[in-house]
Amino acid sequence: IVHLVEDYVNQGLDLRSAFFSALKKLKGAYAIGLISKENPEFIMVARNQSPVVIGIGEKENFLASDIPALLPFTKNILFLNDGEIAILHKDKVEIYDLEENKIERDPIAISWDLASAEKGGFPHFMLKEIYDQPDAVKHTLLGRIDLDKQEIDFSKEGLGKEFFENIEKIFIVACGTSYHAGLVAKYLIERNLKIPVEVDLASEFRYRSPLIDSKTLFIAVSQSGETADTIAGLRLAKELGAKILSICNVLGSTIARESDIVLYTQAGPEISVASTKAFVSQVLIFILLIFYLKKLFYGENENKKKIEALIKLPHNLKEFTEKVHSKIKKIAQKWYHIGNCLYLGRNILYPIALEGALKLKEIAYIHAEGYAAGEMKHGPIALIEENVPTVVLSAKETGIIYEKTLSNAEEVKSRRGPIIAFVSEASEEFNKIAEDYIEIPLTFYEFLPIFYVIPLQLFAYEMATLRGCDVDKPRNLAKSVTVE
């Protein structure tokens, strides 16, 4: 790219014109910052399908790929759209399109503070962010519960009944951990709203000719709002006439800007590559959305005890996290040397089994697979060995599914497979067959994923630290996947 700009300069163009001319020749994704030693008083910036953020200061301006890098200097942020160019001087920022037409845009004030992007005494960002989850929940709830009426309200965010009229089908599209949040949402939406839901990996979605029309609601889920595959899926859905709702953590990100309506998770900056508090906040947004839509369409006020449980959720999560962590440490000491691990769950805990296995793979570099427990007989049971532990998730709140999962766990035990059980309080049946046993507080069905994922996050973290892994920056991974 530099040589292409140089060629245009050698043809007699000034640096700015040479930069614009070079950009017109480029194809694909890029985020470029160009500075010349002959003209060091300004930086030229261009973006296409890769994130760029510009920080606006007082007699100084900044360029970065993500917001946390700018927090020590400014909270006023400018975002570029695809195909836009910015010229940064110390006292101004000019934005243009590729045809050199000037674009006026005001910066957005970001509410994140510098302390939230620092470790705050924790050895790793991941552990800090696990312990941040009660606050992330509190901030995500803020302004969305009408305490007088004891109901959920999204009307201030532009989400009214008319937006959902004529919707006959919902697509949830995401990647990685956000995909698992989407799977949780499928169970909740179909159970409560009786609307069919498809959940797709964004990297597969646009290559399978999805059947989408104006009666489709497309929900994009992304922590960063810059996930390339999810953006591509969103654009396809928009072309096909779908309404676009996004669940996102970053104000002004590409997905947020290109959606009809955005529900922000308010989790604050997430620095560690392995997502924790963003997942919990995404699941919480789906829970709130379902409670809101039940009231909107069916006139059903959610059970007041559930609303009260929501209000107490930050406190209860904090208490649970602090209580369970020491137990998880002891279990990790016992198993950190393993090379393989299975995770089993059913119903709403199946996505949590997938998420637990992903965390162990991501940061501890242990081969781990999550399965629907009922699928054990269809292949995975052949992997059961004395040195391959099976993590089993089961909750009495799921009714008959609890008994079914117990039966699956007994099959593992009968083949000498060690079991690590994460189960409801007083689950004596599991206590008898499990080598290790963690009790999860009894709660409402909708809140199960939030309570069950926390000890799995801690388990992966402790396993990784004992193995000497770089927890915050696992090998070969990036926080935001901004290319296909």
Dump strand ranges (E) for 39-160. 43-48, 53-56, 61-64, 76-79, 84-88, 93-97, 102-103, 108-109, 145-146, 151-152
**Mean pLDDT to the nearest integer, 10-39:** 89
pTM of the model: 0.85
pLDDT above 70: residue 224: yes
Find, among 384, 334, 438, 343, the residue nearest to 430 by Cα.
438
1-109 has CATH 3.30.56.10 classification: no
User: Phi and psi at residue 259, in whole multiples of 5°?
Assistant: -95, 155
Task: Write b or e for each residue in 145-154: b if 16 or more Cβ atoms lie within 10 A of its Cβ, otherwise e.
Answer: beeeebbbbb
Among all chains, which residue has been given the structure tokens 């699941």?
Answer: 283
pLDDT above 90: residue 479: no
| Nearest-angstrom CA–CA distance, 344 and 388 | 13
Partners of residue 88 on adjacent β-strands: 43, 93
Q: Are 258 and 244 in contact (CB under 8 A)?
A: yes
Task: Write b or e for each residue in 333-346: b if 16 or more Cβ atoms lie within 10 A of its Cβ, otherwise e.
Answer: eebbebeebbbbbb
Q: Where would I find the H helices in 108-175?
A: 125-131, 133-141, 161-164
Structure tokens at 152: 């959920």
| Nearest-angstrom CA–CA distance, 270 and 372 | 29
The fraction of the chain above a pLDDT of 70, given in percent, is 98
Under the banding of pLDDT at 50, 70 and 90, the label for residue 484 is low
Helix (H, G, I), strand (E, B) or coil at 268: coil
**Mean pLDDT to the nearest integer, 4-12:** 91
| Nearest-angstrom CA–CA distance, 283 and 137 | 10
Q: Are 364 and 467 in contact (CB under 8 A)?
A: yes
The fraction of the chain above a pLDDT of 90, given in percent, is 66
Find, among 325, 333, 367, the residue nearest to 465 by Cα.
333
User: Phi and psi at residue 325, in whole multiples of 5°?
Assistant: -60, -45
Angstrom CA distances, 269 to 80, 126, 352, stand at 20, 12, 23
Rounded to 10°, the helix 277-298/448-466 angle is 170
CATH 3.40.50.10490, the chain: domain bounds: 125-302, 314-467
Concatenated DSSP letters for 185-210?
HHHHHHHHH---EEEEEHHHHTTS--
Under the banding of pLDDT at 50, 70 and 90, the label for residue 111 is confident
DSSP classification of residue 115: G
Q: Are 436 and 324 in contact (CB under 8 A)?
A: no
State the amino acid at position 151 in one-letter form. Answer: E
| Nearest-angstrom CA–CA distance, 58 and 67 | 17
Handedness of CA 437, 443, 444, 449 (dihedral sign): negative
Structure confidence at residue 460 (pLDDT): 97
Q: Are 293 and 131 in contact (CB under 8 A)?
A: no
Angstrom CA distances, 298 to 146, 153, 185, 235, stand at 18, 15, 19, 31
| Nearest-angstrom CA–CA distance, 439 and 430 | 10
| The listed CATH number (3.40.190.290, 1.20.1050.10, 3.40.50.300, 3.40.50.10490) that belongs to domain 314-467 | 3.40.50.10490
For residue 156, the tally of other CB atoms under 10 A from its CB is: 8
Structure confidence at residue 381 (pLDDT): 86
State the amino acid at position 346 in one-letter form. Answer: R
The tens digit of pLDDT for each residue in 58-72 reads 889 999 988 888 888
Among all chains, which residue has been given the structure tokens 């390339």?
Answer: 228
**Mean pLDDT to the nearest integer, 161-168:** 91
Structure tokens at 1: 């790219």
The tens digit of pLDDT for each residue in 112-146 reads 766 666 787 899 999 999 999 999 999 999 989 88
The tens digit of pLDDT for each residue in 169-218 reads 999 999 999 999 999 999 999 999 999 999 999 999 989 999 999 999 99
| Nearest-angstrom CA–CA distance, 279 and 191 | 21
| Nearest-angstrom CA–CA distance, 463 and 459 | 6
| Nearest-angstrom CA–CA distance, 202 and 175 | 6
| Nearest-angstrom CA–CA distance, 425 and 440 | 6
The tens digit of pLDDT for each residue in 436-467 reads 999 999 999 999 999 999 999 999 999 999 99
**Mean pLDDT to the nearest integer, 320-344:** 96
pLDDT above 60: residue 483: no
Maximum CA extent, the chain: 82
| The listed CATH number (3.40.50.150, 1.10.730.10, 3.40.50.10490, 3.40.50.9100) that belongs to domain 125-302 | 3.40.50.10490
Residue 340 makes CB contacts below 8 A (sequence gap 6+) with 366, 367, 368, 383, 387, 388
Structure confidence at residue 114 (pLDDT): 63
Structure confidence at residue 470 (pLDDT): 93
pLDDT above 70: residue 364: yes
Higher pLDDT, 297 or 164: 164
Q: Are 461 and 273 in contact (CB under 8 A)?
A: no
